[in-house]
Amino acid sequence: MARLLITGAGGPAGGSLGRQLQGTPHAVVGVDMEPLSLDAEARFDRTYVVPAATSPDFLPRLRDLVRREAIAVVIPTVQEELPILAGVADLVGARVVISPSEAVWRAQDKLITAWALEQSGVPTPRTCALVSSSEGGDHAVPSPPMAFPFIVKPRTSRGGRGVTVVDSAAEWTREVLERPGQVVQEFADGAEYAVQVYVPSGGDDVTSVVLEKTTLKQGRVGNAEAVRRVSPEEDADVAAVATDAVLALGLRGPLDVDVRRDGRGAPVVLEVNARFGANSAYAPELLARLLEEWNMTGADPGST
């Protein structure tokens, strides 16, 4: 039996892992910025409130809990924590399920991700920075960098937060003035997928499970409100492009890759999350592989 600590225990990804680990011999501690609901708390053996990742108290609090609870493995699921923990993984006091620091940093920034994928030949929509120039203190609105519609989104964010489809010049002007420093990306209007990927430490024998997002929170974009698992034969090209993306970035462990089909029906990689995704319960192979690789094999983690 191992003692595990999962961050973001009240969120979709952390809560999903808590549910999957119920019924296994492992003791699971959940931590979050806010107190958990009774339902969420029931998924863990013990829960704690911790500061935000951006707080100087975050790492000291985490180290204290690792020591107090005799934690063997930390599984981070909060996006903002990833580059911090990747940089100090050897100082936490437990093994941390995280990719190498450089790979995490590249995946964290959506503009850098697009540059890296393009350089490696992995298909991704055309992506550029939203920059407004200024003369005499007045912001100058540049011409739209590509044909409408296109996406404007934060360079770093969680899930679908802040993603907007821009359909007109008026909307473009508003986005430039209100959201400088964002990312502009071609809008691939085909089916969208959340590909659940596991890359072992050696980088061989990658597991890729394709989940189609059947309903999106904001209609054309946003988090998935419903998904369905597709057969390996049905969308093999989607699995292949997601695998190419994570290997190109040098990522390891559990990963969540957003892929869409473009106007020609070809899959393109939108972004990569260097952690378990919100829908990993539909791909229990990922957690099973982690437990096996890290010598924590017990009862099989549950699926949806």
- Same-domain status, 36 and 66: yes
Residue 161 — pLDDT band, cuts 50, 70, 90? confident
Q: For residues 116 and 24, state if they share a domain.
A: no
**Would the pLDDT of 137 be above 70?**
no
pLDDT bracket for residue 300 (50, 70, 90): very low
pTM exceeds 0.75: yes
Q: Is there a contact between 45 and 9 (Cβ–Cβ < 8 Å)? A: no
Mean pLDDT of 183-211: 95
Same domain (yes/no): 22, 170: no
Q: Report whether pLDDT(81) > 90.
A: yes
Q: Is residue 196 part of a domain?
A: yes
Phi, psi of 160 (to 5 degrees): -95, 15
pLDDT classification of 165: cutoffs 50, 70, 90: confident
Give the pLDDT band of residue 136 (cuts 50, 70, 90): very low
Residue 21 forms part of a structural domain: yes
Q: Give the CB-side neighbour count of residue 251, counting CA atoms within 13 A.
A: 34
CA 188 vs CA 56, 113, 256, 298: distances in Å: 39, 17, 18, 41
* Residue 171: domain span: 127-186
pLDDT band at 133, cuts 50/70/90?
low
290 in any annotated domain: no
Confidence of residue 220 (pLDDT cuts 50, 70, 90): confident
In a domain, 27, yes or no: yes
User: What pLDDT, on the 0 to 100 scale, is given for residue 140?
Assistant: 65
Of 44, 79, 97, the domain-final residue:
97
Q: Is residue 264 part of a domain?
A: yes
Residue 4 has pLDDT above 80, yes or no: yes
In sequence order, the β-bridge partners of residue 268 are: 260
Q: Residue 152's domain is classified under what CATH number?
A: 3.30.1490
Indicate the residue among 166, 186, 206 that finishes a domain.
186
Percent over 90 (pLDDT), the chain:
73
Confidence of residue 299 (pLDDT cuts 50, 70, 90): very low
55-59, 140-144, 186-190, 208-212: the lowest-pLDDT one: 140-144
Rounded mean pLDDT of 88-107? 97
The region of weakest confidence among 71-85, 93-107, 164-178 is 164-178
**167 Cβ partners below 8 Å, 6+ apart?**
148, 149
For residues 239 and 278, state if they share a domain. Answer: yes
Q: Is the pLDDT of residue 76 over 70?
A: yes
Q: Is 193 in the same domain as 206?
A: yes
Q: Indicate whether 301 belongs to any domain.
A: no
My answer on whether 152 and 266 are in the same domain is: no
DSSP 294: T
User: Does one domain contain both 150 and 119?
Assistant: no
pLDDT tier, 139 (very low <50, low <70, confident <90, very high otherwise): low
- Look at residues 209, 246, 244, 241 and name the one whose alpha carbon lies nearest to residue 228: 209
Does one domain contain both 117 and 133? Answer: no
Indicate whether 303 belongs to any domain: no
Same domain, 196 and 252: yes
Query: Do 182 and 192 share a domain, yes or no?
Result: no
Do the beta carbons of residue 110 and residue 152 sit within 8 Å? Answer: no
CATH code where residue 112 lies: 3.30.470.20
Q: What are the tens digits of pLDDT across the range 234-284?
A: 999 999 999 999 999 999 999 999 999 999 999 999 999 999 999 999 999
Could you read off the pLDDT of 22-46 as tens digits, one per residue? Answer: 999 999 999 999 999 999 999 999 9
Task: Looking at the structure, tell me whether residues 203 and 254 fall in a common domain.
Answer: yes
Confidence tier at 135 by pLDDT (50, 70, 90): very low
The answer to whether position 54 is within a domain reads: yes
CA distance 99 to 96: 9
Least confident interval from 12-21, 54-63, 65-74, 126-135 = 126-135
Say whether both 274 and 200 belong to one domain.
Answer: yes
User: What number is the average pLDDT over the span 208-228?
Assistant: 84
Q: CA-to-CA distance for 157 and 175, rounded, in angstroms?
A: 17
User: Of 276, 194, 274, 189, nearest to 235 (Cα)?
Assistant: 194
Question: Which helix (H) or strand (E) element contains residue 153?
Answer: strand 150-153
Can you give the pLDDT at residue 146? 84
